[in-house]
Amino acid sequence: MSASALPSPPFDLQVEKCILGSVLRDPNCMADVTAMVLAEDFYSPRHRDLFKIMIELEAQQQGRCDPLTVGHEVQRRNKEEELGGTDYMGECMMAVPSNAFLENHLKIVRDLSIRRALLKASESIQGSVFDGDADGDVEELVGQAEKAVFGVGERLVGKEMISVAELIDSNLDGLLSGEAKEESLKTGYYDLDEKSAFRPGDLVVLAARPGMGKTAFALNLLERVAVQDNKAVLMFSLEMPRDQLVVRLLSSLARVSHDSLRRHRLQANDRSRLTTAGSALRDTVIHVDDSSQPSLSQIRAKARRLKREGKLDLLIIDYLQLLQAKAESRQNEVSLISRTLKSIARDLEVPVLALAQLNRKAEDRSDHKPMLSDLRESGSIEQDADMVMMLMREDYYNETEENRDKAMLSIAKNRHGSTGEISLRFNKRFMRFENDDVHAQAIAPTASVTAFDDA
C-alpha cells in the first residue's frame, strides 16, 4: 500500500479543545488531567504547546492555569500568534459543555494517542521487515516488534501488577508485630466496628424497605465519623434536600426532638443544645450535594476533587436506585451503577456507602426479615458489594412492648469478617440509632455532653 493511500491518523481536535477549556474554566482540575494524559497525547501542535505551558504553571503553583495567567504566559513567550492568545482560549472554554464530561474527554484523547502510537509502531515494524536482509535473524525482528508494541501498551498496564514478594515485605512485619495499620473507619457502633466495615476501597450497601430509617442511620454514621473521628465525608442526597438533612443532623446531634425542631416548638434548653451542635458540625469537613440526578461521572469528579484536596474519607450515596446510567435495560443499568461505585471506591481508596431499596418480598414473610435476594432490580449489587447491611425495625409493622424502639442490622455479606445480626435501639424523637446496651439508652442530659456519648 502506498503512503498516499494510508488513512489519516485518528484524532479529535474538538475534544482536545474541551480538555484545555475545562482546565481554563476550573484550574483545580489540572491534577486530574495530568494524571491521565501527557502533552504528547495532543495531536494539534497548538494544543500540545498550550498544555505544556499549563503543566509548567501548575508545577510552579497549584491552580494557576486560569485564562489570565495562561494568557499572560503565552504573551510573555511571544507566542500569541502561534497559539492564538486569549481569543483562542476563550474559544476553548466555550467548547466545553460541562466539566462533568472531563473524564470521558481525557479517555478519548489518551486512547486516540495510543492508537496513533500503534500505527507508528506498525509502520516501524513493516519498515524493518521490508528493509531487512532476507536471510536476517527473524527472531530478532520478532523481538523488535514485540518491544515496539509492548512499549505502546505500557501506559495501560500501569502499576496494578505487583509480585507476591513485594506484598509479603510490605505486610508481614506489621502482621507479626501486631502493628498492622487499622484501615477501617470507626463508626462508634461497637458490633459493627468488630466486623471491619468501611475499609478503603470497599463498597458498603445499606438496604431496607421504606420507613426503616436508612437515611437516619446513614446520617448517624456520617455524624459519628465526621465529629467523633474528624474524618471528611461527602454525601450525595438524591431524595432529600440539603436543608432537611441539616435539620436531621442538628436534631440527632443536639438531642432535640425532630418534630419540635421542624415545627419551631423549642423547649427552654433546646436552643443551647442546638448552638453547641451547630458549632460541632461547623468544625467538621462534611460536604452535601443534593443534585436530583447527578451522573456517575459527576460523582466521580467531585469525589476525586475532594480526595485530591485531602477532604474525603467516606462517600455516601442516598440512594443507589435513584442514580441513572445509559444501559439496555434497568437491570443492566443498576449493574453498571453498582460496578461504577465499586470502581470509585477502589480508585479513590475510600469506602463508599450506598443506600438501596429492598423489594416487597420481606413484607410477605411472617418475621419481615430481609434477605439478599430482596435487593431490587439487580443481583449485581450483592455481587459488587464488599458488605451488605440490612436494616429492619419490627415495631414498624407491629409495635409491642417487647420490640418497641428496637432495630436489627443484619450483616448479610461481609468480605472481611463474619456475618450476623447487630441489635440497635432507635430513638424516634431524635431520628437516632444507638448501641443496644444498658449504657446506650439514656439521652444526654445537657448540651455540654459530646455528640457521641452513648451514656
225 in Cβ contact with 297 (< 8 Å): no
Instruction: Give the distance, in angstroms, between the CA of residue 316 and the centroid of all CA atoms in the same chain.
Output: 9
CA distances (Å), origin 247, targets 34, 236, 283, 285: 40, 16, 17, 17
Phi, psi dihedral angles at 185 (to 5 degrees): -70, 145
Q: What is the torsion angle, in degrees rounded to the nearest 10, for the CA atoms of residue 196, residue 200, residue 202 and residue 205?
A: 70
CA distance 345 to 314: 9
Residue 434: how many other CB atoms lie within 10 Å: 21
CA distance 4 to 8: 10
153 in Cβ contact with 111 (< 8 Å): no
Q: Which of 82, 239, 309, 399 is catalytic?
A: 239
109 in Cβ contact with 15 (< 8 Å): yes
Q: In what order do the strands lie in the sheet with 232-237?
A: 285-289, 232-237, 314-318, 352-357, 203-208, 387-392, 406-414, 420-427, 432-435
Q: What is the torsion angle, in degrees rounded to the nearest 10, for the CA atoms of residue 357, residue 235, residue 98 and residue 75?
A: -160
Phi, psi dihedral angles at 322 (to 5 degrees): -85, -10
Q: Letter for the amino acid at 211?
A: G
Phi, psi dihedral angles at 413 (to 5 degrees): -145, 140
Cell triple for residue 122?
Answer: 506498525
E-state strands within 98-228:
203-208
To the nearest 10 degrees (0 to 180), the angle between helices 242-254 and 214-223 is 70
CA distance 322 to 290: 12
Cell triple for residue 291?
Answer: 443534585
442 in Cβ contact with 455 (< 8 Å): yes
In angstroms, the first-to-last Cα distance of the chain is 82
**Is 239 among the residues known to form the active site?**
yes
Annotated active-site positions, please?
239
